[in-house]
Amino acid sequence: MSRAIKEERLLSSGEVTPIKRIVKEIEVEGQMVLALFDTGATNTYVKKEFLSNVPILPIPRTYLVSLGGKTFGVKEACVIRGKIEGLDFDSHAIPVDEIGIIDGKEVGAIIGALTMEK
């Protein structure tokens, strides 16, 4: 079951306001993927279904991350290649089974701050 990605924040005044999200179609490993660009996320996450031709390797030490309100242990990672608006990129990524839905569309990747720095 897919989760909707929360699109609001609580201000110090107690008021709830919508968060502006950057969501774009990008290319990941030759496939078009709907991606959320999230400066609040350190890592990049990609659904495993888009990584069939990418070596996924175990990492030496499991660490915990939270994604979509759920905390889980990261046990594997990979390096992805893609294009954002025609510009090539490569990045370390964490393969995941599910990310969520924005505006009724399934999100295939979250592009985190480390990838955006490149």
Amino acid at site 70: K
Phi, psi of 21 (to 5 degrees): -110, 140
Give the angle subtended at the CA of 105 by the CAs of 100 and 106, to the nearest 5°: 40
- Among all chains, which residue has been given the structure tokens 């990310």? 99
Judge if pTM exceeds 0.75.
yes
> What's the CATH number of domain 8-117, 1.10.4030.10, 3.40.50.800, 2.40.360.20, 2.40.70.10?
2.40.70.10
β partners of residue 90: 81
Helix H or strand E segment including 88: strand 87-96
Q: What is the pLDDT along the chain (118 residues), one digit of tens a residue?
A: 344 455 555 555 666 655 667 999 999 999 999 999 998 899 999 999 999 999 999 999 999 998 878 899 999 999 999 999 999 999 999 999 999 888 899 999 999 999 998 7
- Among all chains, which residue has been given the structure tokens 């954002």? 84
